[in-house]
Structure 1
C-alpha cells in the first residue's frame, strides 16, 4: 500500500508541476464577465461612479443609451441623456435628424464627469463631437457644453469617436477619428476640456480603423492606442477586431508588436472574436485593468451585446484578455 501511495503522490506532484509550468508559459486569459440583465449596446463607454460604486455604460443610440449596475454584473437600462436636440447640432451636421448619437466617451476629472459624443451620418465627414457634463451621474442632470470639434469635406479628419486620457505629466489629450482619414490626437484644455491646438494623425489602416481608446500604463511606461479595425454594424457579418500599438509619447509614433508604425497600417490584434461572439470592437479601457466592448451574438442573430473582461499585461508589456 505504501508503494502505491508513493506512486500516486509522485504522479500528483508531477501533474501539479506541469499545470504550474503551463500557466506560466501559456497564461490563462481572463474569462469574459458573466453579465446578466439588459446588455444590448454598441460602442460602450464604461465607468465606476465615485462614492456610489455604480457601474455606468453609455452607448450609441437614441439620445445616448445608458445602462447601470450596482454589482458590475446585472445591468438595467436608465433614461437616455438627450430627450430633445440641442440647437447647435443642425448648424454643424445639417443632414443629421432625430436623436441618433454615436460612440460616447465618459471621463472623470476634478470632480466632474465629462461625456463626449458624436453626431454624424454614415459615410460622411460632416461630423461633430459634443460634450455634456455632470457632477453626479446618479443625479441625472447634465449640462450641455456645446461643440468640441467638427469636421467637413475640407478637413483631413472625421470628428467622431472621441476618447480622453491624461498623460504622465498631467496633460490631457483627446484621440478621435475614423476610417480612411485615420486616428488623430489633440491636446485638451484642463479648464474647457476642449482642444487647444492642432490635431496630428497617429494611425491609419486600410479596410477601416476607428474607435480609439488611449491608455497610459505607469507600470510599463507606455501609452497604448487601442483601436477597432475592420467593418462594424453588420451583425454576424461584421469584421471588427480589437487591436493595439504603443508609444513612449502620447503623440506617437505608435508601433505594433512587429515594430510597424500605426501611421503605416500597424496594429496588433488582441481580440478577433470567436464562435459565440463576432466582430468585437468599439472598445473602452477603464483604468488599466478592465476593457469593455461590444460584439455580435451568434445565439441572438447578430444582436450587439456588452462584453467586459479583466485586462492583463504580459511580461513584455503588452495587453491581453
Structure 2
C-alpha cells in the first residue's frame, strides 16, 4: 500500500493517495458509491441486515440504517442453513437506479444465492426486494456469492461472481430485470492454490477490462492471508492476463496489495470510476478489527493499475 507510512502521522485530505478513514469505519467486504455530497459504503452484515456507513468527506464515517434487518422469507428457500448475516454487497448506479447485489450463504458451503435490491435514492432508505438473481448448490462446481455489477463499453450490464471451487464466473444481464440472460463464462481460477480466489470486480478503461480479485484466506483477523490481484483483457469474457502474461484461468494474477505491518489481509476490493479503490484490512494496531481502507488509484504508462 504505497503512501500508507506517511498517512498515519499526517492528516490526509480526500485527494491524497491514502484516505485516513476514522469514526465508525468498521466494515468487511466494502463497496462504495457517492450520491450527491454523501459517500456510502455497504458491507457484510453483523446479524441485522447489510451494514451501511456514510460520510460527508470520505474520511469520517458514521453508521446508517442497515438493509433488510429482518431476513427475507425467500432466502430459506434456496439456502436453508444460511447464517444470520448477509455478505458482500455490491452497489452500482445504472439506468437511473441504484442496484445492490448481495450474498446469502453459510461459511464453507456453495449452497448459496445472490439477491438483488434496488432504489432510486439511497438517502431515502427505501429498498425494493428484487429477489433471486442466481443460485448454486452442492451439485455445482462454483459458488454463487460475491456478485459484482459491471457495465461494458457498449452499455450492457454483466455480473461477475464466485468464491473458491472452480473460480470466478461472468454472466450477461437483462437491462430491465438486471438478472442473467444466458451462459456462464469462466474468467479466473486457482487450480493449484486450493481454489483460493474470490470477490471479483471488473472495470473498463481505455480499451481493456480489468479484473481485480482477492487471493487466499480472509476472515482470520491479523492471520488473514488475503491479497488483491489483477489482470486485463480486451474482451469482457476474457481471457484475462496478468502483467507477466499468465492467464488468470490458470492461477495468474499480479499482486496489487498484500498489506503491510499494520494492515493485514487487505481484500474484497471495489474500484469506483477508475479513480479510487476500497477494501477492508485488519488493523494490527487495534486488535485486528476490520476497517475501511481507501486509496486513490493510479495507472502506469502501460495502463496497469497502481497506488
TM-score (structure 1 length as normaliser)? 0.88
Counting only pairs closer than 5 Å after superposition, residues 71-90 of structure 1 correspond to structure 2 as: 71-90=57-76
Q: CA deviation at 1:41?
A: 0.4
Q: CA deviation at 1:180?
A: 2.6
Is residue 33 from structure 1 mapped to residue 46 from structure 2 by the alignment? no
Could you tell me which residue of structure 2 aligns to residue 179 of structure 1?
Answer: 164
Equivalent position to 1:126, from 89, 99, 111: 111
Q: CA deviation at 1:181?
A: 2.0
* Number of aligned residues: 287
Q: CA deviation at 1:200?
A: 1.1
Other structure's SS at 2:249 match: helix
Equivalent position to 1:148, from 133, 136, 149: 133
Other structure's SS at 1:184 match: strand
Is residue 251 from structure 1 mapped to residue 237 from structure 2 by the alignment? yes
How far apart are the structure 1 equivalents of 2:79 and 2:189? 24
Is residue 114 from structure 1 mapped to residue 102 from structure 2 by the alignment? no
Could you tell me which residue of structure 1 aligns to residue 199 of structure 2?
Answer: 211
Is residue 94 from structure 1 mapped to residue 80 from structure 2 by the alignment? yes
Instruction: Decide which moves more: 31-40 or 120-129.
Output: 31-40
Could you tell me which residue of structure 1 aligns to residue 275 of structure 2?
Answer: 289
How far apart are the structure 1 equivalents of 2:265 and 2:200? 16
Other structure's SS at 1:305 match: strand
How far apart are the structure 2 equivalents of 1:97 and 1:293? 23
Q: CA deviation at 1:97?
A: 4.1
Ranges in structure 2 where 5+ consecutive residues have no aligned partner:
1-15
Q: CA deviation at 1:83?
A: 2.0
Runs of 4+ in 1 over 4 A off after TM superposition: none
Equivalent position to 1:261, from 235, 247, 269: 247
Could you tell me which residue of structure 1 aligns to residue 39 of structure 2?
Answer: 55
Q: List per-residue Cα deviations over 1:245-282 (Å, max 9, x = no partner).
A: 00000000000011010000000001010011011001
How far apart are the structure 2 equivalents of 1:222 and 1:164? 16
Is residue 302 from structure 1 mapped to residue 280 from structure 2 by the alignment? no
C-alpha root-mean-square deviation of aligned residues, in Å? 0.9
TM-score (structure 2 length as normaliser)? 0.92
Instruction: Decide which moves more: 30-39 or 293-302.
Output: 30-39
Equivalent position to 1:198, from 183, 196, 205: 183
Could you tell me which residue of structure 1 aligns to residue 259 of structure 2?
Answer: 273
Equivalent position to 1:160, from 121, 145, 157: 145
- Greater Rg over alpha carbons, structure: 1
Q: List per-residue Cα deviations over 1:111-149 (Å, max 9, x = no partner).
A: 110111000001101000001111110010001000000
How far apart are the structure 2 equivalents of 1:164 and 1:182? 17
Q: List per-residue Cα deviations over 1:27-59 (Å, max 9, x = no partner).
A: xxx63211121110000010011xx22100000
Q: CA deviation at 1:221?
A: 1.0
Q: CA deviation at 1:156?
A: 2.4
How far apart are the structure 2 equivalents of 1:120 and 1:181? 17
Ranges in structure 1 where 5+ consecutive residues have no aligned partner:
1-29
- Larger relative helix fraction: 1
